Amino acid sequence: MDIGPGAHTMRGMLTPAPFRPATFVLALVFALISAQPLSAQPAMPAPILLKPDAVFDGIDPVPHAGWQVLVDGERIVAAGPALSVPAKARVIALPGATVMPGMIEGHGHLFLHPYNETPWDDQVLHEPLALRTARAVAQARATLLAGFTTERDLGTEGAGYADVGLREAIAQGIVPGPRLLVATRAIVARGAYGPKGFEPGVAVPQGAEEVSGIDEIVRATRGQIAAGADWVKLYADYHYQRGEPSRPTLSQAEMAAAVATAHDAGRPVAVHAVTAEGMRRAIAAGVDTIEHGDEGTAELFRAMHDHAIGYCATLAAGDSIARYRGWDGSGTPPGMVADTQRAFRLALAAGTPLCMGGDVGVFAHGSNAREMELMAAAGLSPAQVLMAATSGNARIFHQADRIGAVRSGMLADLIAVAGDPTRDIGAVRHVVLVMKGGVLISAP
């Protein structure tokens, strides 16, 4: 509830006004600033012309050789060959580079750091919120500098609603980072998440909000949206005890109630689902994206295609965890790696909309391109991977009118990478320029 102006008056009456030197100096500074003539105010930044070798526009699989991009304010105003350029424009030559839309991370956790640094349980249970938030600030910066200008963050994993504040700090320009679409705490079935392994019956802080029953899941959904969630994240399955396989958790009715509540509020729904039954319920509930999908079948991926449900395979998460357990990346891949690769190929064959999202946080923020390299290794062409990471994710996340393509009128979220990423996807690791909303973050 708003305090209202009366409370401020009350506080003013109750607080005496002693002489405070700092306040006096501040008052002087403000007086001096306000005495400046208008001409001393910062001028509007000049338009910027980017001159790379080629432009990958996010939609056409073939890069446009010789194109330029003109940015004015926060938007792209023109893209094409031989643009007419205002005399005052700042020209940035990018020889040997390709300009493309800022990339969109589809599945991240800025409040987690790699599990080989600190196990997930210890992050959730033992790291203070301020530590986790400070680290998230640094990780957001690393993500932006790696060329990811938007990120969908799918749960703080025990860090409460801190993602909402981080999203606002970035939006206000207080700290650098990608535009964030956040899910806050995420929602799990009571008893079916973690950390686990303590005296039975003792309440232990959990990595997400627990619910049981339709009333509770509706209440949690509304509460998270009220706190600032852009997306609602549900767990359709998980294991109840360590060492067990994942099993369906939320009932069909619970998931349907959460989806109806979220959609009424204009929030899309992302669902963690590893089991075929969890995926089936999520599809029936009308969710917007499914994450992981290890046990997905051709039939389920076809149903996702028919209902335009996006699929985030998170290949890099399984790959990372397998490596933390000792796999060196050669020979027969371990079960979890093989499962996601198999699921990804089924989804590709079914024409399921493919989200680019690696579950970054399990592995290092800033190395988000790992998922893109694994998508290419699993059968997508580099151009298809690039489209998934730009216009594809923009469409799946209902942002295609603002980001994900190099088109006049779109927000100037642009990057330049050395070489041609449509020939070698590894080029996205060599980011030479980052611009977000027309503001240069890094440049040669």
CB of 5 to Zn ion, least distance (A): 44
Residue 362 vs 427, nearer CB to Zn ion: 362
> Max alpha carbon distance in the chain (Å)?
75
Rounded least distance, CB 154 to Zn ion, Å: 5
CB nearer to Zn ion: give 209 or 359.
Answer: 359
Q: How many residues bind Zn ion (CB under 5 A)?
A: 1
> Which of 47/207 has CB closer to Zn ion?
207
C-beta of 208 vs 304, nearer to Zn ion: 208
Residue 100 CB, nearest approach to Zn ion (Å): 26
| 3-class SS shares of the chain: helix, strand, coil, % to 5 | 35, 20, 40
CA dist., res. 67 & res. 334, Å (int): 44
Of the candidates 237, 359, 371, 373, which one interacts with Zn ion according to CB under 5 A? Answer: 359
> Nearer to Zn ion by C-beta: 70 or 187?
187
Q: Which residues contact 414 (CB under 8 A, 6 or more apart)?
A: 50, 69, 71, 76, 99, 100, 101, 102, 406, 433, 434, 435
Residue 357 or residue 421: which is nearer to Zn ion going by CB? 357
- The answer to whether the beta carbons of residues 318 and 357 sit under 8 Å apart is no
Of residues 69 and 104, the one with the C-beta less far from Zn ion: 104
Nearest distance, CB of residue 203 and Zn ion, angstroms: 24
Give whichever of 177 and 318 is closer to Zn ion, judged by the CB atom. 318
Q: How many CA atoms lie within 13 A of 120 on its CB side?
A: 16
Decide if 222 contacts 214 (C-beta within 8 A): no
| Peptide bond between residue 245 and the one before it cis (omega within 30 degrees of 0) | no
Q: How far is the CB of 117 from Zn ion (least distance, A)?
A: 17
Q: How far is CA 14 from CA 7, 10, 11, 17, in A?
A: 10, 6, 5, 10
Nearer to Zn ion, 230 or 359 (CB): 359
d(CA 145, CA 176): 9
- Between the alpha carbon of residue 408 and those of residues 47, 72, 78, 336, the distances in Å are 14, 10, 5, 43
Q: Measured from the CB of residue 288, what is the shortest distance to Zn ion in angstroms?
A: 15
**Cα–Cα distances in angstroms (integers) from residue 8 to residues 3, 5, 11, 83, 120, in the given order:** 8, 5, 5, 55, 44
| Minimum distance of Zn ion from residue 215's CB (angstroms) | 27
Phi-psi region of 403 (alpha: psi -120 to 50; beta: other; left: phi over 0): beta
Pure H helices in 358-415: 369-377, 382-387, 393-396
Residue nearest to Zn ion (CB): 359
Which x/- pattern over 319-358 shows residues binding Zn ion (rule: CB under 5 A)?
Answer: ----------------------------------------
DSSP for 143-208 reads HHHTTEEEEEE---SSSTTHHHHHHHHHHTTSS---EEEE-TT-EEETTSSSS--SSTT-----SS
Residue 186 CB, shortest distance to Zn ion, in Å, is: 9
Q: How many other C-beta atoms lie within 10 A of the C-beta of residue 400?
A: 17
What is the x/- site pattern for Zn ion, positions 248-277, by CB under 5 A?
Answer: ------------------------------
User: Is-contact 101 57, C-beta < 8 A?
Assistant: yes
Q: Nearest distance from residue 227's CB to Zn ion, in Å? A: 19
Min. distance of Cβ 109 from Zn ion in angstroms? 6
* 237 touches Zn ion (CB under 5 A): no
Q: Which is nearer to Zn ion, 58 or 106 (CB)?
A: 106
Residue ranges binding Zn ion (CB under 5 A): 359
